[in-house]
Amino acid sequence: MRLLVIGNGMAGARLLGEVRARDKDIEVTVLGAESRQPYNRVLLSNVLAGSSGPDQVRLLDPTWYGEHDVEAHLGTRAVQIDRQTRTVTAADGRRFPYDVLVLATGSQAVVPPIPGAGRALPFRTLDDCRAILADSRGSARAVVIGGGLLGIEAARGLAGRGLPVTLLHLAGHLMERQLDAEAGLVLGETLAGLGVDIRTGVSAAEILPEGVRLDDGSLVEGDLVVLACGVRPETELAVQAGLEVRRGVVVDDELRTDDPAVFAIGECAEHDGVVYGLVAPAWEQAAVAADVITGAAKDARYRGSRQVTRLKAKSVELAAMGETHLTEEHAEVVRFSHRATGTYRKLVIRDGRLVGAILLGESAAVGTLTQLYDRGAPLPGDRAGLLFPGLAGTAVADSPVRMPDSAKVCQCNNVTKGQIRACWESGARDATAVAAATRATTGCGTCRDAVEGIVGWLCEQEGVSA
Ligand SMILES: Cc1cc2nc3c(=O)[nH]c(=O)nc-3n(C[C@H](O)[C@H](O)[C@H](O)COP(=O)(O)OP(=O)(O)OC[C@H]3O[C@@H](n4cnc5c(N)ncnc54)[C@H](O)[C@@H]3O)c2cc1C
């Protein structure tokens, strides 16, 4: 069987590994438009902020393809799929036959249709990141357009490098998809304290060499303009090939499109009406697709993912999950806000289970609440204990001791406490060894403290019982 994968990003590269882990014989070819080895796109914000170097984000070693008998064509863009002859044509005219085709083409950054948009730099690829960093060195002031997760991470990263930054956002508050208005306000105040000038409810009309002209005619000065205006699934090939496409390429629970020989995974795919913009679903989809394609688990099915968003910006702790916008009419809402300390916590509870949460500001509750949300487990009656673990008389503490083995610790790689314990029992004695065995911590990296906590606790237990 010849498997052809289009897209060598986070979903495509993961699929290659998942397929090879199950089957050594399938002929595997991958076409990647980017000329680089696949890298962890999630960590680009860290590269912009300077906490990771560009060489520390690689997903696969250059030798991996040869060692795993995968034919990789980097810097090769697929331009046409012929489903009759089962052939894909690349931009350079080469043709690649397939029996099974997987689309893993991701998304492209949205560029707003305004004059001068070509002067601004998008923030999607490692090359974009390098271009922003190069320009930032000679810049006096930056403007970031877009106050979603990416725009905030970009603005915080540039401000952390000492560059004055203005963040422009069309909606009335930051991250309006994940946060309610008050959380958006508290987040804005926290960022303002870190040197980011926030302007919400404003619309960019033109990008000029000296800055961004708003639609009220005023100018926001800046010689570096970064675009973080959202992403659009890269579906052009699928549309041309006549596959069913809504917002993304429509797939079923096997990740198959309406052509049984063609699959789609990652940000280009739409499953059950949802296009995911996070890496955890992309990696779950890659595992299911590999099961189905290789026949390793023919009945494997993808049933959708629970979405947890965590901001990776120095000195700003934020996790948001689920249905954060439900009001008291439709759910039980437990809320605590203390703007002076940048703290906002909100739990949205329905039928005794956590269906949404916002945790802004440092909080020991993040791990426990993420697990409760993830498992859909019944909540303890003590709501204060959920918001303030460790408070005298409260029940829930975010400690490795209390965590059940089924609790998911690494959201990106779907690794539970039980798996970390098993890995420790087989000899792993630090987070790096656990990462090598389970991949925990290798996605967005925000679970590293939790993994270290579990390993440390197990080591302590060993010391106690020895
Ligand atoms: C700065 C930044 C920060 C992020 N932070 C987080 C985070 O904290 N947590 C989180 O979960 N997610 C985060 N994300 C999102 C995450 O990176 C994506 O969800 C993930 O990369 C999706 O994987 P993918 O393979 O579907 O798409 P991509 O990683 O974009 O890969 C798609 C690949 O396909 C290639 N391609 C496209 N068309 C073709 C073609 N015709 N021929 C050949 N190749 C093609 C592209 O060049 C690209 O290399 C972040 C994204 C960015 C940009």
Q: What is the pLDDT of residue 240?
A: 98
Please report the atom of ligand 1 found closest to the CA of residue 125: 53
Q: What is the pLDDT of residue 405?
A: 87
> How many angstroms separate the alpha carbon of residue 34 from the centre of ligand 1?
11
- The residue to mutate among 58, 105, 444, having the most atoms of ligand 1 within 8 angstroms of its beta carbon, is 105
pLDDT in tens, 121-151: 999 999 999 999 999 999 999 999 999 999 9
pLDDT in tens, 225-242: 999 999 999 999 999 999
| Structural contact between residues 147 and 174, judged by C-beta atoms closer than 8 angstroms | yes
pLDDT in tens, 266-308: 999 999 999 999 999 999 999 999 999 999 998 999 999 999 9
Q: Confidence band (pLDDT; 50, 70, 90) for 399?
A: low
Q: Look at 106-120, 182-196, 377-391 and tell me which has the smallest mean pLDDT.
A: 377-391
Regarding predicted confidence, which is higher, 363 or 359?
A: 359
Q: What is the pLDDT of residue 382?
A: 86
Q: What is the pLDDT of residue 398?
A: 52
Please report the atom of ligand 1 found closest to the CA of residue 267: 26
> How many angstroms separate the alpha carbon of residue 42 from the centre of ligand 1?
8
> How many angstroms separate the alpha carbon of residue 39 from the centre of ligand 1?
9
- The residue to mutate among 6, 10, 126, having the most atoms of ligand 1 within 8 angstroms of its beta carbon, is 10
* Pairwise CA distance, residues 127 & 154, whole Å: 15
> How many angstroms separate the alpha carbon of residue 107 from the centre of ligand 1?
6
pLDDT in tens, 71-80: 999 999 999 9
> How many angstroms separate the alpha carbon of residue 183 from the centre of ligand 1?
27
pLDDT in tens, 156-198: 999 999 999 999 999 999 999 999 999 999 999 999 999 999 9
Whether the full predicted model's pTM is greater than 0.85, yes or no, is yes
> How many angstroms separate the alpha carbon of residue 285 from the centre of ligand 1?
14
Q: What is the pLDDT of residue 380?
A: 86
| Structural contact between residues 324 and 346, judged by C-beta atoms closer than 8 angstroms | yes
| Mean local confidence (pLDDT), 423-438 | 91
- The residue to mutate among 81, 226, 267, 318, having the most atoms of ligand 1 within 8 angstroms of its beta carbon, is 267
Which residue type does 231 have?
A: V
Pocket-forming residues, ligand 1, beta carbon under 6 Å: 6-12, 31-34, 41-42, 44-45, 77-78, 104-107, 123-124, 150, 234, 237, 266-267, 277-280, 282, 312, 444
Beta sheet of 353-360, edge-to-edge order: 308-310, 318-322, 353-360, 343-350, 332-338
> How many angstroms separate the alpha carbon of residue 243 from the centre of ligand 1?
21
Q: What is the pLDDT of residue 142?
A: 98
> How many angstroms separate the alpha carbon of residue 426 from the centre of ligand 1?
34
Closest C-alpha residue for ligand 1 atom 13: 42
* pLDDT higher than 80, residue 202: yes
Q: Look at 60-64, 182-186, 404-408, 410-414 and tell me which has the smallest mean pLDDT.
A: 404-408
